[in-house]
Chain A
Amino acid sequence: MITMQLSRIWKNRQFSLLKIRRVVGSSMQPTLRANALVYATSLYRRLMPGDIVIINHNGLEKIKRVEAVQGSELFVLGDNALESTDSRTFGWLNTSTVQAKVIWPRT
């Protein structure tokens, strides 16, 4: 398990024990409002539906909720479905795009 984690971290080359980020945009409302601070870590065991993740997509760090995990692929959605561009538009993502999993706020 530790080897797998290390290998994922090495592949991503984006390891950080704690990432603090400021939310921009409305796609995660009402869970995360604009300017909310989130704390996330690259050190997580696995991804589950319901987890909020920071992904690297088209050169931007984006925050979405995991809807489904199938093998090495993820389907992510914004909590505010009406104002979110997510896997409904850009499709499934590889888990390697995940930079970190949000640990706070706990939602």
Chain B
Amino acid sequence: MKLLSKFIKPVYAHCDLMCGVYDPAQARIEAQSVYNACKKYAESDDSVFKERAVIIKEKRADLCKEHLWVLWTDYFKPEHAEKNPGLHDLVWRATKAAGDAKKSMDAAVAQKLIDLVDEVGAAFAMTKDGYDYNAVKSNMEKQAV
């Protein structure tokens, strides 16, 4: 039967998002990198190192924003926003925080980004059975400087 079915023309139960793989861990990793870069910048006296820290932090903040956008525009669906009415505002604030983190070397600004990404992660976990965002958070906290 399996062999036979290979000869039958396909009809597509279509989804543009073929992979269907989404994870706020990506945004959280980048947010943690932003935070660590700010800390290392503050602790260093080496001007070349500091310059690199700024460049890397800006790239990571940009990636964090990108990952948040992917969750917002591709993963979250109207049903999620209905169940969580603050969702759009939350993601908007988180992406704004990523923009702020690009402009600043203040670890407190980076921490605000982390906190908002964690809120997005918690919102994501509510939509996916068995997904444990706390594990992501705990792994990242272990890598904080």
Mark B72-112 against chain A: 1 for CB-CB distance below 8 A, else 0: 00000111000000000000000000000000000000000
Q: In the complex the two chains form, is B9's CB within 8 Å of A27's CB?
A: no
28 contacts between A and B (CB under 8 A): A20-B9, A22-B6, A22-B10, A23-B10, A25-B13, A25-B14, A25-B15, A26-B20, A28-B13, A34-B13, A35-B2, A35-B5, A54-B11, A57-B14, A60-B14, A61-B10, A61-B11, A61-B12, A62-B13, A62-B14, A63-B14, A64-B14, A80-B13, A83-B20, A84-B15, A85-B17, A86-B14, A88-B77
| Closest chain A CB from B97 CB (angstroms) | 27
B46 at the interface (CB under 8 A from A): no
User: 8 Å CB contacts to A: which residues of B1-56?
Assistant: 2, 5-6, 8-17, 20
Q: In the complex the two chains form, is A20's CB within 8 Å of B12's CB?
A: no
Q: In the complex the two chains form, is A62's CB within 8 Å of B12's CB?
A: yes
A38→B9 CA distance, assembly (Å): 11
Q: In the complex the two chains form, is B16's CB within 8 Å of A89's CB?
A: yes
CB contact between B5 and one of A27, A32, A37, A81 (< 8 Å): that residue: A37
User: 8 Å CB contacts to B: which residues of A43-80?
Assistant: 54, 57, 60-64, 78, 80
| Closest chain A CB from B38 CB (angstroms) | 36
A29 at the interface (CB under 8 A from B): yes
9 tightest A-B contacts by CB?
A: A21-B11, A25-B13, A28-B13, A27-B13, A85-B16, A24-B10, A22-B8, A62-B14, A63-B11
Q: In the complex the two chains form, is A23's CB within 8 Å of B15's CB?
A: no
Q: In the complex the two chains form, is B79's CB within 8 Å of A63's CB?
A: no
A64→B13 CA distance, assembly (Å): 7
A80→B10 CA distance, assembly (Å): 18
* B127 closest partner in A (C-beta): A82
> Interface residue tally of chain A, by bracket?
20 to 34
* A89 closest partner in B (C-beta): B16
* 5 more CB-based (< 8 A) A-B contacts, given A25-B15, A37-B5, A85-B15: A25-B13, A28-B13, A38-B11, A54-B11, A61-B11
A22-B8, A22-B9, A22-B10 known; A88 and B78 CB under 8 Å? yes
A86→B12 CA distance, assembly (Å): 11
Q: In the complex the two chains form, is B13's CB within 8 Å of A81's CB?
A: no
| Closest chain A CB from B62 CB (angstroms) | 27
* B79 closest partner in A (C-beta): A81
